[in-house]
Structure 1
Amino acid sequence: MNRLRASFLAAKDGSDVEEIIKAILTHDERMKIGRRIQIAELIKQGVLYRQIAKELKVGLTTVLLVARKLDQNPTGYELIMDREEKVEKEYRRKVYEKTGASKMIYKKKVYMGFTRKDVKR
């Protein structure tokens, strides 16, 4: 576990993190982790457990497990959500650049080729 933590901390951007995750987790494991994060978000929004299970096509036991983990360690999921918000803000700021003369009211937006993986730590 220490090696995994160190590799995440040493990753310079999202591409490195994605390569590490792909190397150690199967596609199904990655999907399950993603669903658990979605479940936690919906629980925090106050959605009923049965509705979450139906909407995400997961078992009620999975929803209850995530709810229990969320109660035991709320900061873990909060960190995930805070970091995602931080990445989204930087992505939105850098994905397009406005170009045109300084006196133009409506400047043209140009896609810069920036992706979420390019967000630096």
Structure 2
Amino acid sequence: MKIVLIIVDLFMLLSLIHSVGEKLTKSGNQEVGEVIQKLSSFVFSLGCFGLIIFFMIAMFGGFLSSLNDDQGNYDNTPSEWGPGADHNSNPGTHQVDGYYKSNGTYVEPYLRSNPDGNPHNNLNQ
């Protein structure tokens, strides 16, 4: 939210600078006023273009991540139990590969119970 307020403030500042250029042009400093107006218009346009590109990338990234997110729902298939689950010596468990959490913490590989809908019979190691 803070970044949005900063961006709005910057655009308001550019608008103010542009109006100063207009006043300078009308008061007799035509060259300086026109330069300020052209420069503020260019920066404003560049900022708008940058925001459009930024939001397009953000929306595309959100779309791609939503395609890969099962939101914690398991359909109880061996493909979700981890590699080698079909050939496990204990058919009620599966090996979970190590992975990195979003905060950068590494989780070591571990053995997990296969999902069966019963929270009271999960493997506890």
Same fold (TM over 0.5): no
The TM-score normalised by the length of structure 2 is: 0.28
Which is helix-richer, 1 or 2?
1
Q: Which has the higher contact order (CA 8 A, sep 6+)?
A: 1
The TM-score normalised by the length of structure 1 is: 0.29
* Structure having the higher Rg: 2
